[in-house]
C-alpha cells in the first residue's frame, strides 16, 4: 500500500492552527504604542477635516455678506451672529469629532487586528496569509497610511481657524472679559482680507507638507522660529491693521513645527519592539500619585492644620452679615435707567421724539436686549442728536453703535459722538469714563449728511464702576 495519494488537509489544518496560535501570541505582545499612533492619527485627521470645513464657512461668512446671510438662515433670527457662532462651532465641533473619531478608530483597529488572527473560509489562503502577514506589520502599515493626511489637514485647519481665534483672544484681553458678538462680527468682517489670505496660504502649506522635507524633524526649529518671530511682530504692531496679515504665518508655521515634532515621536513609537512602549505615561502618573500619597502621610499633621484653618475661614466668611447697599441718588438712578434701560416705557409710549433738530427728525425705540434704536431722517447739513444716555459720576460706560443696513437708505453721512461711523465703517465703540469728582456726561451725536435719506442706528449702552 502506498501513501502517494494521501489527503494533505489534515496537515494543512494543523499548520493553520499552529500559525494562528503564533499570530495570537504576537498580537498579545504587540507594542501598545502602535495602537496609540493609529488612533491618534485617525482622530487628528477627522477633527482637522471638521474644523477645516467649518472654518471655510467662517471665512466665507466674513468675506461675503451673501454667504453670511445664507448661513444666518440656519441660526435664530433675532441676532444670528454668524461669525461668532461659527468660531464657537469650530472648536466645539472639532472637540466632539475628535472624541468620536478616537472611539471609531479604536473599534476599527480592534477589528483589523482580530481579522489577522481568525481563520477564514479558504484553508490555503489562510496558510498564505498567516505565513507572510504578522499583526505588527499590519498595524504599522495602518499607521503609515495615515501619516500624510494627519500632517497636512491640521495645517489647513490651523490656517482657517487660528487667525480668527487670535483676534477673539485679543478682543477678550482688550475688553477684560467676553467680547460682544457685534464686536467680533464687525472686527472680523472689516478685516476679512487677512482671513482669506490665510486660507489660501494654508492650502498651499498643506500641499507643501505632503513633501517629506516639511515633515522631517529638521523642520521643527525653523518653523518654530518663524512662528515666534511673526507672533512678536503682531504683538508689537497690533495697532496697525496691516500687521494682522502675519497671523496666518503664526498659525501655519506653528502648526508645521508642532506636527513635525509629533511625527518624530510617533515614528519612534511605530518602530519600537517593546510591548510596554507608549504606556510610560500611566506608570509616571501612578508614580507621582504614590509620591503624593507618601508626602501626605508623612506630613498629615501640618496638612490637617492648614485644611482646618481654611475651613474655619470659609465658615467665618459665609456667616458674616452683609450690609445693604446705599440707595442711589435720584440723579444716579435716572442716569442709570437711561443708560441701561432698566425702566421700560409704557406700551403706549413705545416711540417718542427725542430731538427735533433744525433740519432733521429723530425717533427712538427701545429694542431687545437693552438696545436703543434711533431712526434718523437725514437732510443735507449738520444736526446734533441728544441720545438720552448719561454717564453718571463714578461710572464707566461702554456704548456700541452700528448702522442697520436693511433699514438705511442714506449713502453719504458721518456720525460722531460714538466713535466715527461712516458708510464704510458702520460700527464703532465709545468707552466714556466719568470720575467721582466730575460732572455727569451726556452722549450727544453729531450727524453730517450731504444727501437726504433714512438711517437706523442701533445703540447698546452698558455701565460699570470706574476706577477713579
pLDDT in tens, 326-382: 444 433 344 434 444 433 444 443 444 444 444 557 888 877 667 888 888 888 888
Residue partners of 275: CB distance under 8 A and separation at least 6: 29, 30, 31, 32
At residue 120, does pLDDT exceed 80?
no
Dihedral of alpha carbons 151, 154, 156, 159, sign: negative
Average the pLDDT over each of 133-142, 328-337, 386-395 and give the range with the smallest value.
328-337
Q: Domain ranges in the chain?
A: 9-275, 345-465
Which of 113 and 434 is assigned the larger pLDDT?
113
pLDDT of residue 44: 94
Residue partners of 256: CB distance under 8 A and separation at least 6: 155, 205, 209, 214, 219, 223
Chain length of the chain: 468
- Strand pairing class (413-416; 395-403): unpaired
Average the pLDDT over each of 37-46, 48-57, 66-75, 147-156 and give the range with the smallest value.
66-75
Average the pLDDT over each of 163-167, 234-238, 302-306, 351-355 and give the range with the smallest value.
351-355
Nearest Cα to 192, choosing from 249, 244, 154, 236? 244
Please provide residue 390's backbone torsions phi and psi, each rounded to the nearest 5 degrees. -125, 130
3-state DSSP helix/strand/coil % of the chain, to nearest 5: 60, 15, 25
Nearest Cα to 388, choosing from 431, 440, 434, 425? 440
Instruction: Please write the tens of the pLDDT for every residue from 164-203.
Output: 888 888 888 877 777 777 777 777 777 788 888 888 988 9
Q: What is the CB-side half-sphere exposure of residue 111 using CA atoms within 13 A? A: 6
CATH 2.60.120 fits 345-465, yes or no: yes
At residue 423, does pLDDT exceed 90?
no
Count other Cβ atoms within 10 Å, centred on residue 365.
15
Band of residue 91 on the pLDDT scale cut at 50, 70, 90: very high
Average the pLDDT over each of 97-106, 210-219, 315-324, 371-380 and give the range with the smallest value.
315-324
The mean pLDDT of 92-112, rounded to a whole number, is 92
- Check: CB of residue 403 under 8 Å from CB of residue 445: no
pLDDT of residue 357: 45
Q: Is 275 helix (H, G, I), strand (E, B) or coil?
A: coil
pLDDT of residue 290: 83
- Strand pairing class (453-465; 413-416): unpaired
Instruction: Please write the tens of the pLDDT for every residue from 3-18.
Output: 555 667 778 788 888 8
Q: Per residue, what are the HEC states of 294-349?
A: HHHHHCHHHHHHHHHHHHHHHHHHHHCCCCCCCCCCHHHHHHHHHHHCCCCCCHHH
Ranges of H-type helices in 73-122: 82-116
Band of residue 283 on the pLDDT scale cut at 50, 70, 90: low
Nearest Cα to 159, choosing from 199, 113, 108, 103? 199
Average the pLDDT over each of 116-120, 360-364, 399-403, 456-460 and give the range with the smallest value.
360-364
pTM (2 d.p.): 0.62
Q: Which residue(s) pair with 446 in the sheet?
A: 384, 416
Amino acid at each position: 500500500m502506498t501513501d502517494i495519494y494521501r489527503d494533505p488537509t489534515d496537515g494543512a489544518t494543523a499548520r493553520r492552527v499552529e500559525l494562528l496560535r503564533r499570530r495570537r501570541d504576537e498580537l498579545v505582545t504587540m507594542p501598545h504604542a502602535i495602537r496609540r499612533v493609529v488612533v491618534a492619527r485617525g482622530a487628528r485627521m477627522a477633527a482637522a477635516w471638521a474644523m477645516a470645513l467649518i472654518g471655510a464657512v467662517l471665512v466665507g461668512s466674513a468675506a461675503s455678506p451673501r454667504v453670511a446671510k445664507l448661513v444666518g438662515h440656519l441660526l435664530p433670527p433675532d441676532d444670528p451672529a454668524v461669525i461668532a457662532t461659527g468660531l464657537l462651532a469650530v472648536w466645539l465641533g472639532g472637540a466632539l469629532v475628535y472624541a468620536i473619531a478616537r472611539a471609531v478608530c479604536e473599534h476599527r483597529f480592534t477589528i483589523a487586528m482580530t481579522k489577522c488572527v481568525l481563520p477564514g473560509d479558504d484553508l490555503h489562503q489562510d496558510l498564505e496569509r498567516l505565513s507572510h502577514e504578522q499583526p505588527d506589520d499590519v498595524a504599522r502599515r495602518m499607521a503609515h497610511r495615515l501619516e500624510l493626511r494627519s500632517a497636512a489637514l491640521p495645517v489647513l485647519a490651523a490656517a482657517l481657524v487660528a487667525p480668527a481665534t487670535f483676534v477673539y483672544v485679543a478682543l477678550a484681553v482688550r475688553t477684560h472679559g467676553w467680547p460682544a458678538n457685534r464686536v467680533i462680527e464687525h472686527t472680523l468682517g472689516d478685516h476679512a482680507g487677512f482671513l482669506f489670505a490665510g486660507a489660501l496660504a494654508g492650502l498651499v502649506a498643506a500641499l507643501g507638507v505632503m513633501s517629506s522635507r516639511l515633515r522631517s524633524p529638521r523642520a521643527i526649529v525653523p518653523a518654530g522660529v518663524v512662528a515666534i518671530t511673526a507672533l512678536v511682530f503682531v504683538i508689537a504692531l497690533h495697532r496697525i491693521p496691516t500687521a494682522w496679515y502675519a497671523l496666518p504665518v503664526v498659525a501655519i508655521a506653528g502648526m508645521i513645527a508642532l506636527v513635525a515634532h509629533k511625527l518624530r515621536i510617533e515614528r519612534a513609537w511605530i518602530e519600537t519592539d517593546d510591548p510596554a512602549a507608549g504606556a510610560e505615561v500611566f506608570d509616571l502618573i501612578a508614580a507621582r500619585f504614590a509620591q503624593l500619597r507618601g508626602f501626605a502621610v508623612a506630613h498629615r499633621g501640618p496638612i490637617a492644620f492648614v485644611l482646618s484653618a481654611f475651613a474655619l475661614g470659609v465658615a467665618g466668611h459665609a456667616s458674616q452679615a452683609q450690609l445693604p447697599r446705599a440707595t442711589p441718588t435720584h440723579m444716579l438712578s435716572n442716569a442709570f435707567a437711561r443708560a441701561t434701560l432698566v425702566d421700560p416705557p409704557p406700551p403706549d409710549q413705545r416711540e417718542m421724539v427725542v430731538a427735533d433738530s433744525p433740519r432733521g427728525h429723530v425717533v427712538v425705540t427701545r429694542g431687545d436686549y437693552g438696545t436703543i434704536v434711533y431712526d434718523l431722517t437725514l437732510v443735507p447739513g449738520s444736526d446734533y442728536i441728544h441720545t438720552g444716555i448719561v454717564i453718571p459720576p463714578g461710572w464707566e460706560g461702554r456704548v456700541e453703535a452700528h448702522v442697520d443696513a436693511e433699514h438705511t437708505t442714506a449713502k453719504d453721512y458721518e456720525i460722531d459722538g460714538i466713535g466715527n461711523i461712516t458708510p464704510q465703517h458702520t460700527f464703532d465703540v465709545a468707552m466714556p469714563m466719568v470720575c467721582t469728582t466730575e460732572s455727569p456726561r451726556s452722549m450727544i451725536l453729531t450727524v453730517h449728511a450731504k444727501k437726504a435719506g433714512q438711517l437706523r442706528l442701533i445703540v447698546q449702552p452698558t455701565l460699570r464702576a470706574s476706577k477713579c
